[in-house]
Amino acid sequence: MKKVNLKNWVLLSAACTMFAVSAVSCDDDDSVTYYDVTVNDALPSLPSAATLQSGTLTFTELNTGNIVTIDLPATGQLNIPAGTYNIEGNMTVKYVDNGVDVEKTLRTVASQVVVSANSTLSLDWFFYNPDNTLVFGEIYLAGTLNATGKSGLYDSYFTIYNNTDEVLYADGLAICESKLLNSQDLEITSVDNFIANNFTAQTVYVIPGTGRDVPVQPGQSIKIVDQAIDWNQQVEGALNHTDADFEWYDEVTTGSVRDTDNPDVKNLDKWYSYSKTIWLPSQQCNRSYALVRFPEGMTAERFVDEQSCTYTWLTAAGKEMSNDTQKLIKYEWIIDGVNLCPTEVWKRNALSATVDMSYKAISDKNQDPNKFGKKFARKVSGTSPAGNVILQDTDDSANDFEVVSAKQ
């Protein structure tokens, strides 16, 4: 019996092993691709040349959550890993105004900036001076899942929170919903409706009073609901709004749609609504909301008369369209504002970055059924010297709000 040629076997095995080892251990070093990004800063107009004192730019990559922070002034090009970024920046500048040295904080924000090649990035900087006054405390729009399990109830509500240590009055404040969807980026052609110029609102509901009728105690809030009823009567686990301070009621006399009015709860004054029937805030949570303090002497009639506009825009095919069912809100009237939109469908914010530099998403995915029963709640940032809870208000809703169960 002949024996196998073991030498050949060993050589053959060794060759195969070496081949396989080289395949197993093959490696390449291009694990992360970096691109050069040139940043062009556009500062607001200043009375004199400004000197940068300090500042940072923060790039947050959306896929991975990785954060790159760059100290300002940044010299030359930035070397940034490929990705889709939310960018935030702040800087302190010093300049001379009427012979006086002035130091101001500027901020900038840019959302979903894709870095996939060497590119130039333009950043618009704006003054940043958040005031802690009356703010949106909670916003609940998605509603509790209804009995069919397919859509939400209309148990939506807003709370307005006194973020100071002194009593503030809420009467005269308006809650406004944006005309523009944050999930669309139609090309606006009417200058008044440019996002940088005015807030275009499709509803304006005002807390009634003479200016000192609705006190809000420090650290307390008032609750404004769609229908001040106990929704538990319809769906177990829904919210009970019989304790609401106000409700918005739309009196409808034609057609089949009717609103529900709780006579024990005061109604908001309806200054304007695009809807011929009832106003239902966006259950998709893809619009913006503003808390507005109108100037002295403003009335509903005057508002409707002076703030009307024709909103025009271009369709994707280039055809100009127009609409008259909205009003203009000046940014200087807005004391708080929030942009909302699911991440997947976000295109731009209906509120200027001077009011809200970002947006808060109820969910990453559009039409996510898990949104039901969840509210936007402002985070707690601390306690005031008087012992009142201070809610976070940095005009940056992505960071100021969290999405939590409405039952909390």
Partner 1 sequence: MRTLADLSICFAVVMAGTVPAMARPRTLALHVMERSLPVESMRTSLYSYNPATMIMCDSLSLSELSVNGDMSRYDEAYMMQLGRGHTLLSIKAESYMRLSRNSVVWGDAGFTTGNNRDIRWTDCVDYLKLAPYVLGDAVGGDMSTRRYEFGGGWATGAGRWMFGIHASYRASVDYRNRDPRVKTVVSDLKADMGAAYSLSGNYSLGLSAGIEVYNQNCDVDFYNPMNDIDTYTLTGLGTYYARFMGNTNKNSGYDSFGFNLGMQLVSADHSGWGAAVAYEGYRMEQLLRNFNNLTLGYSDVHELSALTSYRIKMSPSFSIMPEIRLAMSNRRSTENLFGNAAGGSYPKIGDRSLYRHDNLEGSVAVAMQIGLSEGSVLSAVPSVAYVRDHERYESPERDVDVDHIGPVIDLVYSKLAGDWLWHAGIGGSMSFAGTKSAVFREMDMSSDLGKCVMHNYRMLASDRMSGTLSAGASRYVDGLLVGIDITYYTTSFEHHGSCHGASATVSVKF
Closer CB to partner 1, residue 83 or residue 137? 83
Closer CB to partner 1, residue 27 or residue 264? 27
Closer CB to partner 1, residue 3 or residue 319? 3
| Least distance between partner 1 and beta carbon 236 (Å) | 12
What's the longest Cα–Cα distance across the chain?
115
| Least distance between partner 1 and beta carbon 16 (Å) | 5
| Least distance between partner 1 and beta carbon 56 (Å) | 18
d(CA 342, CA 360): 8
d(CA 45, CA 36): 28
Closest CA to 73 of 97, 56, 61: 56
Closer CB to partner 1, residue 119 or residue 189? 119
Closer CB to partner 1, residue 12 or residue 380? 12
Tell me how far CA of residue 161 lies from CA of 30, 135, 202, 213, 251, in angstroms. 51, 5, 23, 16, 28
Closest CA to 390 of 400, 403, 376: 400
> Token pair for residue 281?
């805030």
d(CA 66, CA 81): 10
d(CA 130, CA 194): 23
Closer CB to partner 1, residue 32 or residue 317? 32
Between the two ends of the chain, the Cα-to-Cα distance in Å is 85
| Least distance between partner 1 and beta carbon 30 (Å) | 7
Chain residues in the site for partner 1 (CB under 8 A): 1-6, 9, 12-13, 16-17, 20-21, 23-28, 30-33, 61-66, 81-84, 112, 114-116, 144-145, 343-345, 363-366, 368, 370, 372-374, 404-405, 407
| Least distance between partner 1 and beta carbon 157 (Å) | 17
| Least distance between partner 1 and beta carbon 265 (Å) | 26
> Token pair for residue 346?
């976000």
